[in-house]
Structure 1
């Protein structure tokens, strides 16, 4: 035992039971002991830990461990890029260079980092490594060209693990974080030894990272790291949507946000933003950067969350717009995220990182400001609007049947039956039992059916006479189940409809053809497929309806301009687009005259014709992200160019340019004007 150096440190402060070994375990231990671990990053432990986690538990905790490439997207603009740039400036000095570099190294040793959802410590480990690498470059520059022997290499390094703190709810993960930090310390000490030709090992361990095993929504962050000492907060808090929170997580949300207003519509990750900005009120020099679900900067959440954070004095100083968050673990989750960096009381330019492809690399642009939708535009919050702009038809949700009944099946298990709504198999079986019901069957289409082409059917009985209803045993059986289900409903209005089980509880079916907009659509699609449907096709409550459609409106709704607006202000269902009337109502419509409307109608007809030419392909096939038919894409691109020119003559190079232009219009218009004479149009264009 005397051959082994004394380690000490909190890692070994408690007794550990030595596991029973067998031959295969011994051989495995010898094998990994012989392996050269020097090029392996300790951050791999986070990925290994996620790989062995139960999938359901991983989802419950919102745990997503991360590639180093994505961690660098956080720490780069948060602190590392600025420090690296300063180091390069100091290197170029001719006067007082060594003194300035020494002061710079001292400043590095004063930085303090807190990750309040640190997991296995990946962010802390990579941040520590990069800080040590920067310090090593500083030391190399200080001692460059000097021939004197460095007797005590341990006196060179001033950056240490005790500059890093974390909070982690999982005990095993928090222990991994501590171990990984010490391992990275050992690796960086070896790099220092190699650079200066003298062995340096920080053993026994005298300094430790502060990793608190606790609930970050319950513990006082000040007890982990005093705000006066902290310089940066960073991390990847849990991604847990509103509907997936368990009882403890809901209680944590209430502790942070309270129960008033709409705050409990927010994602779980927003708790960390709130606590971080509260913590920073005691030291407004702190900078914050978190990875987050992109939903906090979209739809209703943007107008709920950000006014509260901005009132604290926080400002967004850098942001990565939506990209795919990659994990190195098996069974990884496909998550689309953003990164938001916050500071306080600082002037100067801001940085936006855009992605042409969510899986690609970003390109950075310097902007004067970043708003809550992560674009360079004044702070605007798109509050819900119940009415469309003047002169525009109203967009509304389709009809809802409320026809389910929970009944006990032959095996004793309860099943929920659908009685007014039938899939294709159910329709055929019902017709075989009672061919007379054919006159009451109508196609029933929601967003999913519209896109997939797998339409369902409904019994549309609103005009049936009592005698006709009684003449069909099939209908009578179904209506009895509908009545039973509605009587069991907790909703008063649904129970009232138990007396009339043959009608939908919400009947919004128009008496004319209508424009149909799917409520939910895949985020991978460039365009939401929007169609005109016949009045005999019953639109479900998962479809948004615009009666008596004018094709010039369809051309505008299916344009790149409207899609850019939708992607910015619409909500999300998981990561999919969730279109709502507010997207339509708040859209800054272009000013169009009759000649423009004629061109737009022709453009919409060209899109429809291109689709028909691809029959029998479904909309799902035609709007597949990687396989959009040439004819359909060509028609859409021509429509995009036409609509773009209604807003300005110059071409829009990126989607962000479109959104920024639309936000400026939204801000300057008190009431959007749609139909105008050419003279009025020219005036409006000058104002815009």
Structure 2
């Protein structure tokens, strides 16, 4: 307002414009005339020479006229300068002015504001960028994150090409990351780094390495200890501390190209960077392969919030809502926020810590607003914010096995700290910054599976353990990871089959023993809650007092960057103390949003049901047909034909026609793509000798088997005409594919005749009836399968153990004894409905099971037949105490677990597998 009054009568461009803009910049605390240039020479559109009245590269261009002159020609004149400006120097803001009037054009947002000089104070935020303020939201998927990582990647490549590599290169890049961010967020003088490089280093880059080393030394030296002869431009940089610039690095050899790469990086607006994801992007520039898929591997903010909200944020916000109107309780709540501590024992680039810290700071900001309202300061700017901000980065602890991500994690926390400080500054009208860096996050470079977490953060001080440890299946582990597994789980039993991520589950439980009030949440591969891993891992976890507090059931862990990566994950929140208010987050679509379901208890399969651990049961329950794998050739492919190969072979060897059979696996059963096999069982030697091409193939089978590393296969080289595992039925059999798409509501199954050879990719049951077909085809069985079965990627994987553990509707002895007539009626209803399903399929003889069970193409007649079958099966379960209806699969499986518990409690002690497994797990832990 004082500036507006001072210049209210000015009007002569030639005599007063430069002084006008010098005073204008002083309004924002900028007194260094190096920031902008006046009468900046540039080539105009068309090739003529022009002079920009005021130019701040990468920020602002001003065209100034005398009072009363029209602004439109001034705007056109300014636009003529743009073709002559280097791309990295293009401004985001264009201003035309005649002293009395301003026209401000935001070139990125394509918005224009016109106002009088007297109203400048009402529009001052348009110029907030001059002082380092950016009135914008930090968006994780903002393309600037990708562009910034790509430009840092070019700089990385240029330096590495010069021979500057290893630890020194990593530290230099981390320092430059901090400096580029500081240049755009008021830590440094506005565009101080960019101006320093542009103005104080040679264009060939020959002295840039030395000048950066000098800058780092200045940043590491308190102002009162610096040389009196220090250049003014260097002296303007603040003391940073935090040990970020402490280490003396070898001086890097830049050239013109690497200098240009650094200037290009400095031209971006680094205030818009999201520290939560940029760290992962930044790390990927070190790997050429990862950079080709840049943006595919960072953890999205949305997914991080799925973990931290139920772990601690929702509860803190609820508590804040309860205390916000009580001054004393609000004060205590604020103190509580300062004393929380967080440990991520596999922190990577720190994204979980960064988002947790940001959310804690945002909550603290709400606390300060509420306190100001209670004290009558709402809307006023008299609060001493410096003494009120309590939450700090030293509440955050991490362990990371790689050095470079560990360095990035520490800097990322400082960056988000400063972003939050700018939010506070804007909120309360006072500049607030924590420079020099007095406090630091505690990021330890080391293997979390070999060091004592208490040395990083004593369990007695820890509030929450959180993170996303690495997933590695047993077949993909390195030697070091195998050693970690043996150290954590031992080498006996089935612990070696666990995923690598489970090492963090065990270490977390052991850590929580030091403070049972601490809660934890980890992202994991969904395989730890499916199939064979459940009993092994959770037998130990439950025996050691673990309670599941909340869980996100299987969902796709994705991000919005190009080259998306997706894995199928669960999030499990747990602790050693039970607590009410348990929640299961259910996903109808693994790529969609969840809905929360209140639960009284969450079991290891992430269902509201008792803690039942299903064994890898090989015995079939009495009264049921045995389910087993089909036959396995182990033949090197020499006994198997495609349709085209079979036709060509029979043209040359017609005598083989009698020995070729249909060969069906899961793929062929579902999609109808036929294969064939040589089934030479019972072939006489003379018959074989009469078929030379068959003999050639038999010879190749023998050779293949002799080369096998498996002893039993080598021994079977003596029987090259036979499959190594012959389980082919001599009667009609039920066939179930081993793998089926997750998109199907019902797994496609069917009956096959004995002349059709079932491959080992099918599971088969000889003697199965329409009753068995009906139950296995029902929604009840399919819900069980989706929950307890393993997965191949996202596809559903069936196994005999799923079938053997399934609680059939007529499994209870009392059902057979006391309700015989009702049981017979229910069985007949299921058989009738099952036959109706088969009849509905038969109406479409040209369609494969894939066609029939695709949700988009499933015939209405087949869908209705399945719905009637579901009703018949559900009614049969009512005889065992089941409800009349189910809202979803989770309710079905919850009932099935209860029924399973009842059935197994009636078995002899030796057959009570889950309990014995749990006792063994407890013994192993002891």
Relative to the length of structure 1, the TM-score reads 0.90
Residue 791 of structure 2 aligns with which residue? 572
Residue 566 of structure 2 aligns with which residue? 334
SS in structure 2 at match of 1:288: strand
Kindly report which structure 2 residues correspond to 1:95-174, keeping only aligned pairs within 5 A, or say none.
97-144=326-373, 146-147=376-377, 150=382, 152-174=384-406
2:806 to 577, 580, 587: 587
Residue 519 of structure 1 aligns with which residue? 738
2:673 to 429, 454, 461: 454
2:851 to 593, 610, 621: 621
1:356 to 588, 597, 606: 588
Distance 1:13 1:637 in 2: 70
Higher gyration radius (CA): 2
SS in structure 1 at match of 2:460: coil
1:298 aligns with 2:530: yes
Judging changes above 3 Å, is the alpha-carbon distance between structure 1 residues 523 and 17 closer, same or farther for their aligned structure 2 residues? Answer: farther
CA contact (8 A) 1:441 1:459 kept: yes
2:833 to 603, 610, 613: 603
Residue 9 of structure 1 aligns with which residue? 242
Residue 412 of structure 1 aligns with which residue? none
Distance 1:633 1:381 in 2: 33
Residue 896 of structure 2 aligns with which residue? 662
Kindly report which structure 2 residues correspond to 1:153-232, keeping only aligned pairs within 5 A, or say none.
153-232=385-464
For residue 258 of structure 1, report the CA deviation from its aligned partner.
1.2
Distance 1:81 1:509 in 2: 57
2:545 to 289, 306, 313: 313
CA offset digits 1:93-151 (Å, max 9, x no partner): xxxx2221111111111111111111111100000000001111111111125348647
Bigger mean CA offset, 107-116 vs 479-488? 479-488
CA offset digits 1:401-425 (Å, max 9, x no partner): 1212xxxxxxxxxxxxx21122223
CA offset digits 1:401-458 (Å, max 9, x no partner): 1212xxxxxxxxxxxxx21122223323321221111110001111122122222111
CA contact (8 A) 2:826 2:875 kept: no
CA offset digits 1:268-322 (Å, max 9, x no partner): 1111101111111111121110011111011111100011112222210111111
Name structure 2 gaps, 5 residues minimum. Answer: 1-233, 811-821, 908-926
Q: Larger relative CO (CA 8 A, sep 6+): 1 or 2?
A: 1
For residue 34 of structure 1, report the CA deviation from its aligned partner.
5.2
1:259 to 469, 475, 491: 491
CA offset digits 1:7-46 (Å, max 9, x no partner): 1213222234665556676566556545444454211214
Distance 1:599 1:35 in 2: 70
Distance 1:650 1:46 in 2: 52
Residue 603 of structure 2 aligns with which residue? 371
CA contact (8 A) 2:661 2:756 kept: yes
Name structure 1 gaps, 5 residues minimum. Answer: 405-417, 674-688
CA offset digits 1:560-616 (Å, max 9, x no partner): 100111112212233332211111111111137333333323322332333333443
Residue 274 of structure 2 aligns with which residue? 41
Distance 1:194 1:554 in 2: 68
Distance 2:612 2:675 in 1: 41
Distance 1:329 1:131 in 2: 26
Judging changes above 3 Å, is the alpha-carbon distance between structure 1 residues 369 and 544 closer, same or farther for their aligned structure 2 residues? Answer: same
Residue 563 of structure 1 aligns with which residue? 782
Judging changes above 3 Å, is the alpha-carbon distance between structure 1 residues 49 and 558 closer, same or farther for their aligned structure 2 residues? Answer: farther
Distance 2:904 2:545 in 1: 28
CA offset digits 1:482-538 (Å, max 9, x no partner): 222223333333233222211112111111111100112223322211011111110
Distance 2:800 2:751 in 1: 17
For residue 64 of structure 1, report the CA deviation from its aligned partner.
4.7
CA contact (8 A) 2:340 2:463 kept: yes
Judging changes above 3 Å, is the alpha-carbon distance between structure 1 residues 196 and 543 closer, same or farther for their aligned structure 2 residues? Answer: same
CA contact (8 A) 2:780 2:870 kept: yes
Residue 469 of structure 1 aligns with which residue? 688
Distance 1:80 1:626 in 2: 40
For residue 251 of structure 1, report the CA deviation from its aligned partner.
1.5
SS in structure 2 at match of 1:358: coil
Bigger mean CA offset, 563-572 vs 601-610? 601-610
SS in structure 1 at match of 2:841: helix
Kindly report which structure 2 residues correspond to 1:434-445, keeping only aligned pairs within 5 A, or say none.
434-445=653-664
Residue 684 of structure 1 aligns with which residue? none
Alignment RMSD: 2.4
Judging changes above 3 Å, is the alpha-carbon distance between structure 1 residues 622 and 66 closer, same or farther for their aligned structure 2 residues? Answer: farther
Residue 505 of structure 1 aligns with which residue? 724
Judging changes above 3 Å, is the alpha-carbon distance between structure 1 residues 264 and 613 closer, same or farther for their aligned structure 2 residues? Answer: same
For residue 51 of structure 1, report the CA deviation from its aligned partner.
5.6
Distance 1:303 1:532 in 2: 32
SS in structure 2 at match of 1:593: helix
CA contact (8 A) 1:51 1:330 kept: no
Residue 324 of structure 2 aligns with which residue? 91
Distance 1:381 1:55 in 2: 44
Residue 397 of structure 1 aligns with which residue? 629
Distance 1:36 1:52 in 2: 19
CA contact (8 A) 1:154 1:200 kept: yes
Bigger mean CA offset, 3-12 vs 124-133? 3-12
Distance 2:719 2:469 in 1: 49
SS in structure 1 at match of 2:831: helix
Judging changes above 3 Å, is the alpha-carbon distance between structure 1 residues 671 and 457 closer, same or farther for their aligned structure 2 residues? Answer: farther
For residue 470 of structure 1, report the CA deviation from its aligned partner.
1.4
Bigger mean CA offset, 42-51 vs 299-308? 42-51
2:576 to 337, 344, 347: 344
Distance 2:541 2:405 in 1: 30
Distance 1:210 1:349 in 2: 32
Bigger mean CA offset, 170-179 vs 328-337? 328-337
Distance 2:450 2:364 in 1: 36
1:630 aligns with 2:864: no
1:285 aligns with 2:503: no
Residue 685 of structure 1 aligns with which residue? none
CA contact (8 A) 1:178 1:211 kept: yes
Distance 1:245 1:111 in 2: 35
SS in structure 2 at match of 1:561: helix
Query: How many pairs does the alignment contain?
Result: 653
SS in structure 1 at match of 2:552: strand
CA contact (8 A) 2:509 2:575 kept: no
Distance 1:524 1:220 in 2: 44
Bigger mean CA offset, 258-267 vs 49-58? 49-58
SS in structure 2 at match of 1:143: helix
CA contact (8 A) 1:522 1:576 kept: yes
